[in-house]
Structure 1
Amino acid sequence: MSDPAPPPISVHGGAGGERAVTEDLERAAAVLASAAQELREAAKALRIAQWNAEDAYSRSLPEVAPYVFDARDAAQDASHGPHGALALERELDDVSARLSQVAHGFLAAEQAANHHVSVLERTRRAVRDLALTVAFPSRVVAGAAWSVTPLGTAMRITGDDPVGEALMPDGPPPTTGYLNGDTAGAAIAAHDIPRGPLPSQYEAAVGAATAAADALERLAGEPALVGVHVRPGSGAERASPLGLEDLVDGVAAVPYGEHGAVAIDTLTHADGTRSHIVSIPGTADHTLWDASPFDWLSNGQAVVGRTSDTARLVALALERHGIRATEPVMLVGHSQGGIVAATIAASEAADRLAITHVVTAGSPIDRNAPIDGVEYIHLSSLQETVHQLDGVRTPDAANVISVVADLEQSGDPAVAAAGASVLGAHALGSYAAIGRAADASLRPSLTAWRSGASAFLGSGEMARTEYAPAVTPSRATEPSPGPNAPPSPPRDPRPVPGISPGGIPELRP
């Protein structure tokens, strides 16, 4: 029996994406157009030379006149002949125009492929889910009323109650038809318009919420992060990942423990070289007193440009692990973990490491400018909301790949059912299915990514070390940096803007 079909995916960006392909085509078209312009200038010069030769012919000595006549003919042929400058100019102009047409055609095809669900189909899904949501309370009431009637009670006792089954819904109504990445991103973008020197309404709201969360955690006496320690039992050998599905599962395997943890898998290859995969989970702490840095305060800190406790935890773990500057590092994160991965890749700490790859799942990281020399791949779905909480579309770049799945069309009923709810779409199990679909894809961008990530996939022995936070009894006495504290210096000279929070509790469908 074959495995169920994974959800269909669209892929844009990367080595086979619109920018990587069209930039090369447009650059070649521009070079040819420039050469054609040079030939036009050369034809003008030859025409002037022809006129000068004609003028000189009438005044030249008889023994020189034939040579002047030949020079005039040569200038005319070089300018207007079948292989002259004007003919070559026309050919180059024609090739340049056709290259531009190919670039535009590729762009149109890429955009069509990335919108495999039509506006009409999205509207149908939204109307369907909205109607089921509105009808849900009345169905619950009708089912409950039927169950207390004599006939309903009798049918329920016998175990055969088709009326009750028809009236009572099987579960909560689907919501991702109208509450999804498109609607969430549009709502955020509508409140993220700059207001001159003042922050946008969105930034102001997040900054205020972060300041309030910081004050409440101090009041509740939440412990402070001061370092990391190796969790007992770390160092066990694991199978090397073969693709994106295994990388997502590697994040799912990070135990929460007492206060959360981050895992570093070290692969030792046959030639003695090493590479490292850092697995960073999402938000797991929803209290004001747990010492885990994987909380909502860390989400908000990223938005207002401050270094979060989660980013500090990962940076400390990387330093403690003793990674050499020449050893390649891949950062893999789900939800908040993806925010941290993008933040670490853009921080000054990355200058001491060879961070070559960043993989995120359901993370709103699109306000972070991608760093040259780092390969990014972002997994999301049409049903996902957290990925779009930054209100920005993933930029197209040669080193940035966006994989967007339609969970509702998955051949696996569990994945399709998970895609019906916001929590299910954000679950790691859904992202494992998206990773599986990407692993099976032969799209040029994904093929190139797998080739470039060979140091992390399917080779060498691998051992995992888990790092947990070391904390003080309370952070109440620490000075509060406040919502307007300056951000940590970015690795790139361009400013790295804040990004929105991500991290709904981990679920598996």
Structure 2
Amino acid sequence: MTVSNIGVSGGAGGITAKYDDLAALGDLTGDVAGDTLKTAVAGHKFLAEPDVLASSLLNPGGVVKFEAAMAVALDGPNGLTATSAGIGLRGEALKATRIAYEMADELAAKGLDASRWFAGLAVATNPVGAALVGGGAIATDVYLNYDGDWQKWLVDHPGMVDTLVGMSPGMLSALGIPVDLATNLDLLAATYPDSDAVVTDSRTTNPDAPGNLGDLLDGLARRNSSDKFESDQNPDPANLDVQIIRDANGKVTGYVVDIPGTKEWNAPFTTKGANDLGTNVDAMAGNNTVLQKGIEEALRRAGAQDTGAPVMLVGHSQGGIVAAQATTDLVSNGYNVTHVLTAGSPVGRIEVPGAVQVLSLENRNDIVPHLDASGNPDSPNRTTVEFDNQQNTVGGNHQIQENYTDAARELDRGSDPSVQRYKDGLGAFTGGSSSEMRTYRVDREGGK
């Protein structure tokens, strides 16, 4: 399969940006109304101008006509005063329209969360009936139309993941634990003990500097599967890259951090490496994870805090979650994070500073981006690209190579305004003449 049916939402050409345009137009219209009113006020002075009044002795009829014409022009039904009021009302209407649209979007999102919550409550209250009706219908579809292949059915219906995750708070509430999805994640995160990060320098290399989005994701693919790309070397135990980009004069222009996905799927109350399931849950719950701590230490060692040069975080799956979650703390701690690129990551409920530009790539048949039961925000700094590349397996639809890398290459050739605006801001990372790759291993203190 190849990448097709690319759709873009959010960013500079997104709906929220249009809402902001409405507000700006409302402010501009208000300014015009104010200027018009000032002109009207200034015009009233001519009605009592001494020279005009003095001329009434010589030409009383002309003065009367002048005064009448000025009064109509200033205060008549179509005069400047009425025009000013009308323009002002239009400006307020534009701003009110923007607020109404935003409220409608927010209510729709909350309504969807509420409907899933009640669906979960209903299932927990009557599990037998739900299994017979809902489960029976799904099972019939799987065996009649998918030859019993549940995996193929799931990647053909990835929205089912949103539904099931969104139903979980209602199901728990039926057991006497009133929770929402955020509380669910907090409770689950508490079952995975976190720790401080132990960062070890691995090696330094000098790869070609990235030139576009495809190159950036190729670099992430190499970090994610170093044994596949570096078969002539010993397996690299590292799990983090910091690529230092330099211009022709050797000056640092930017830092690109490659953050791979989950490597270990451990049960609650156990810990593994920095790329384990606990990091996933912790990051989605909004916590500072051991991997995030490792990223900050790696950037410090690479000199990012000293130079103040722009920082870009590139992450796949878990790596994208941690990248998005880390932005607020990194910015607060003095790092110039300007861009985030995520691939197959559920980041819809993670808040990102408005000055940080985020581009999220999502294969529509990849179930992982659905794990937060939320669409990504449609805001000027958050652009989401969805595409089709059905490979009929969970792993195939989620992999970086020949999936997300191919989508990035298509975007390099495209001209969507939101994506283009994002690409236009990547010069610090994709316009370099040389690069130095510093590779690090991040472990849990006292653990694996």
TM-score, normalised to structure 2, is 0.72
Indicate which of 239, 243, 246 corresponds to 1:268: 246
Structure 2 vs 1, CA of residues 5 and 82 (structure 1 numbering), >3 Å: closer, same or farther? Answer: farther
1:43-62 alignment, distance < 5 Å = 62=57
What corresponds to 2:439 in structure 1?
466
Q: Distance in 1 between matches of 2:310 and 2:368?
A: 29
Give 1:230 deviation, angstroms.
1.5
1:385 aligns with 2:367: yes
Separation in 2, partners of 1:80, 1:208:
66
CA shift, 1:296, in A, is 0.7
The yes-or-no answer on 1:16 pairing with 2:45 is no
| CA 175–401 in structure 1, closer or farther in 2 if over 3 Å, else same | same
The residue number in structure 1 matching 2:342 is 360
Amino acid paired to 1:69: V
In the TM superposition, residue 272 of structure 1 has moved relative to its aligned partner by 3.1
Q: Which has the larger radius of gyration?
A: 1
Contact map agreement 1:225 1:469 (CA 8 A) in 2: no
Counterpart secondary structure, 1:285:
coil
Unaligned segments of structure 2, at least 5 residues: 103-136, 228-234
Q: Does residue 1:326 correspond to 2:308, yes or no?
A: yes
Q: Alignment RMSD, CA only? A: 4.4
The answer for the alignment partner of 1:252 in structure 2 is 221
The amino acid across from 2:160 in the alignment is T
Q: How far is the alpha carbon of 1:199 from its aligned partner?
A: 6.7
* Normalised TM-score (structure 1): 0.65
Q: Is residue 283 from structure 1 mapped to residue 262 from structure 2 by the alignment?
A: yes
- Correspondence 1:212-227 to 2 at 5 A: 212-214=191-193, 226-227=197-198
In the comparison of the two structures, how many residue pairs are matched?
392
- Does structure 1 retain, via aligned residues, the 8 Å contact 2:29–2:91? yes
Corresponding residue for 2:322?
340
Which structure: greater helix fraction? 2
1:191–1:200 Cα contact (<8 Å) kept: no
Aligned partner of 1:220 in structure 2 is none
Shift of 1:84: 5.0
Bigger drift between 312-321 and 36-45 goes to 36-45
Q: CA deviation at 1:458?
A: 4.3
Deviation at 1:356, TM superposition (A): 0.8
Return the offset for 1:46. 7.3
The aligned residue for residue 185 of structure 1 is 162
Structure 1, gaps ≥5 residues long: 108-127, 141-168, 218-223, 408-415, 476-509
1:115-154 correspondence to structure 2 within 5 Å: 133-135=142-144
Aligned partners of 2:220 and 2:316 also within 8 Å: yes
Distance 2:445 2:352 in 1: 35
Task: Go from structure 1 to structure 2 and tell me whether the alpha carbon gap of 1:395 and 1:209 turns closer, same or farther (over 3 Å shift).
Answer: closer
Distance 2:427 2:246 in 1: 13
Matching of residue 421 in structure 1 with residue 393 in structure 2: yes
The more displaced of 343-352 and 451-460 is: 343-352
Q: Which amino acid aligns with 1:425?
A: N
- Structure 2 counterpart of 1:381, which letter? N
Partner of 2:116: none
User: Are residues 67 and 252 of structure 1, via their aligned partners in 2, closer, same or farther at CA, if it must alter by over 3 Å?
Assistant: same
Residue in structure 2 matched with residue 69 of structure 1 by the alignment: 64
Post-superposition shift, 1:334? Answer: 0.7
Residue 376 of structure 1 deviates from its aligned partner by 0.8
Aligned residue number for residue 176 of structure 1: 155
Q: Does the 8 Å CA contact 1:276/1:328 hold for their aligned counterparts?
A: yes
Question: Residue 79 in 1 paired to residue 74 in 2?
Answer: yes
* 1:6 matched to 2:15: no
The separation in 2 between residues aligned to 1:259 and 1:130, in whole angstroms, is 42
Q: Per the alignment, do residues 47 and 271 of structure 1 end up closer, same or farther by CA in structure 2, a change over 3 Å counting?
A: same
Q: 1:270 is matched by which residue type in structure 2? A: A
Relative to structure 1, the CA distance from residue 461 to residue 130 in structure 2 (aligned partners, 3 Å threshold; closer, same or farther) is: farther
Give, in whole Å, the separation in 1 of the partners of 2:298 and 2:444: 14
The 10-residue stretch of structure 1 (20-29 or 324-333) with the greater mean CA deviation from structure 2: 20-29
Aligned to 2:200: 229
Whole-angstrom distance in 1 between the partners of 2:77 and 2:190: 75
Greater Cα offset, 386-395 or 17-26? 17-26
Mapped partners of 1:242, 1:49: distance in 2 = 66
Secondary structure class of the residue paired with 1:267: strand
Query: Is the deviation greater in 308-317 or in 254-263?
Result: 254-263
Change (3 A) 1:80 1:14: same
Any idea what the Cα deviations from partners look like across 1:109-151, whole Å, max 9, x if unmatched?
xxxxxxxxxxxxxxxxxxx9976621489x68xxxxxxxxxxx
Alignment of 1:406 with 2:388, yes or no, is: yes
Shift of 1:81: 8.8
**Partner residue of 1:436?**
409
CA, structure 1 residues 75+356, in 2 after alignment: closer, same or farther (shift >3 Å)?
Answer: same
User: Structure 1 CA distance, aligned partners of 2:330 and 2:431?
Assistant: 30
Alignment-mate amino acid for residue 155 of structure 2: T
Paired residue secondary structure (1:371): coil
Once the two structures are TM-superposed, the CA of residue 468 in structure 1 deviates from its matched residue by 0.6
